[in-house]
Structure 1
């Protein structure tokens, strides 16, 4: 918004799953193994969370470096756009496959390989001689990021087979990821001002080294799965997701022919994927996952949350800069009422989930997100000052930080045996699609309206409000 040393025997762990299913990480081991100590699990959790922090940091940090990047390497506006979006397109396209690979070959192997590749790719990116070389290396970083995220979710599930402990662990994992969203633009600005754009890649090298050191112990080791991978379906899914993401980005920036071509390619790849899935003995979209009402609700809610969060992070800076005449630094500070809860509130969410389950924080989060977006829309229509907007920022910040940890807990807890990585990959894939739709959909209203104080922007802000309200009703009805 994914077995092992931890279980002492192959018997199922006592999970209060709505589908009575047991996560793969809690039951796939067939031999008795020693239970990791609390200290070993804590170290491993910090390592996994730091890796996820690094991946998310790279989603936000480059945007503040664009002027310095253009001065240093030159290139076209399209090149700069791809320097940012090349990472997210590859990342989103490979999430499903990365989850299946984590299940098949061991989540810890996929995670550590991804972290190693991320560190090396960052080092090469810092030395990129021209813009299009950097674009290619950003794609490589997207491959590495996709390997890390579903695997990190599966490792957390493995480390903490007891539901209450897992909820608290997911809260720590989500808090550190929220910190990446909070500090990314500020840290990027400080690094660029002091050392230039190359520093935002060099900082990943020591982060990757520390992550590898923290996850080197036996606690993170996961058994290899036995479920084969249907590579035809996986390749079709990658192409469909990649082209669909590219089409949405192009549509949001007014690239009609480009968007149409990528959209047609995505449709063809999607049809190939459906045909391959029907024939496959081991489909990408495991039917058991899709039969779980709780899991499907959580997946759709995850897309809605990312639609709102990413769309707001795209639209609101325009409002702050153009209507309120804030400087870049003032804009970053203005976002603190939203971003600070990303880092601190997941810990409270984890306690709530551990006590009473994920449904209540999911409903609260979706409701707060809808309310925050409604406040923004009213503020635009009435020309309100920043204090009114700050109310919306607080609502959305707490909304995201209530909803996402609960959504992750729901998905990894209800994942059928042997599919923790695949379920984690599916969750992150639909979240990435939601994020891309948020930027494209809300950005289209801003482009059409032109002025950031027009009714068009209010309509853009009402989109996520309606979407989150609808998902809150769906989650409430399905329980």
Structure 2
């Protein structure tokens, strides 16, 4: 069978715009909900733990299904999986908007996460086909990331405006017309490659069960229900161990064999989880602590969200000139300082201090995330880039899930600073790891110098 023809550049532009808008929609659903927390609590008669579950169940489903979404895109074709994901995301968003109670909202939020997990890897598969040349593909992926990254800046402000007009349900209604626009832009079928790739369902189900049980354990700990905390914690550990055993024997494992002992790649996965833990702590906690309207809350978050949207372009230049570890170290140095300033600000009315803290948090995210993606791909090799991308996004969502569950369990009027201080400690561990990684590389290069001098 001959390879399908590459679309002309004019026909590729609407497709790329649609693919970027789809990812924008997925990220927007994460950030826009932050300013809707108080409105949801009032409307559905729930507390911090309930609205915490509304956040975590989305990231939990997304984390558990991202690798599966990539496998389905390989097996069924990227364009087909993408279209189903977008249509399902729009429909599930309308269902969220019509939810009569918290239980229904949680069910439909979980569906949103599953459809989002189909959108992200399949959109990358379609881009790879539309732009087969490495240089043009790199520019296309940069545009995809830049357009979608604007969701971080737009989400809180747009969400605040919509809630002011029509309440929290409007933030979900917004996704339906966005999904229709995406489907129109991507209506031309793209014949992406299909591989006869097996899918092992048990590891995916085990991962989902592990995340759900671990989240329950964290929630029960926040409610001081220690027997249930211990019980769910032990079950989560057992599920994690069982999932790892099943995955090793699976025909299509979650983690490919070559990556299992690749320490640099696993280090990058840990960094990704740490960054999203800190980011989600800020996005989840600040709206609950501010006595402000949703619109003002969105504006308060702008120092962080704008940098997250804009600064990655500069981070790419920094990583190209000095290597990816340098911006990673800078990010992990800026993040804990920003989190500590935010912790000090939320204990009193210190708007300027909070703004500076959020600015540093924005630098922390925008320096680390783009660089650690490059670091992971560089150390994995091109053949494993797809698997690394899926697992990296999954670990990011795991970090976000744990952060939202922890903040919902810990955050009280008496302990407003504690979630930020815990996140700062997590980032300091990331900084220590980045520093140790540089020393390890230096030791590995040191023995080579005498040999080179002797050969000369």
Deviations 1:153-176 (A, max 9, x none): 444455455555555444333333
Structure 2, gaps ≥5 residues long: 442-456
Q: Of 366, 381, 397, which residue of structure 2 is paired with 1:432?
A: 397
1:232 match: 202
Distance 2:307 2:57 in 1: 29
Q: Superposition RMSD on alpha carbons, in Å?
A: 3.5
Alpha-carbon deviation of 1:470?
Answer: 2.0
Q: Of 399, 422, 434, which residue of structure 2 is paired with 1:472?
A: 434
Higher relative contact order (CA 8 A, sep 6+): 1
The answer (yes or no) to whether the contact 2:160–2:296 under 8 Å persists in 1 is no
1:147 counterpart SS class: helix
2:310 aligned with 1:344:
yes
Alpha-carbon deviation of 1:196?
Answer: 3.0
TM-score for both structures, normalised by structure 1: 0.79
Q: 1:287 to 1:66 in 2, by over 3 A?
A: same
Alpha-carbon deviation of 1:302?
Answer: 0.9
1:450 match: 414
2:247 match: 277
1:115 match: 86
Q: Of 250, 254, 267, which residue of structure 1 is paired with 2:237?
A: 267
Deviations 1:298-319 (A, max 9, x none): 2222112112211222344466
Alpha-carbon deviation of 1:431?
Answer: 0.8
1:140 counterpart SS class: helix
Alpha-carbon deviation of 1:224?
Answer: 1.4
Q: 1:374 to 1:82 in 2, by over 3 A?
A: closer
Q: 1:390 to 1:360 in 2, by over 3 A?
A: same
Q: Of 349, 359, 363, which residue of structure 2 is paired with 1:394?
A: 359
TM-score for both structures, normalised by structure 2: 0.82
Deviations 1:192-218 (A, max 9, x none): 221233322221111111122223345
Q: Of 364, 376, 388, which residue of structure 1 is paired with 2:330?
A: 364
Q: Of 326, 331, 339, which residue of structure 2 is paired with 1:373?
A: 339
Alpha-carbon deviation of 1:293?
Answer: 4.4
- Please give the residue correspondences for 1:201-240 in structure 2 after superposition, counting only pairs within 5 Å: 201-217=172-188, 221-240=191-210
Q: 1:314 to 1:64 in 2, by over 3 A?
A: closer
2:13 aligned with 1:51:
no
Q: 1:446 to 1:55 in 2, by over 3 A?
A: same
Count of matched residue pairs: 441
Distance 1:169 1:411 in 2: 20
Q: 1:261 to 1:118 in 2, by over 3 A?
A: farther
Distance 1:452 1:81 in 2: 15
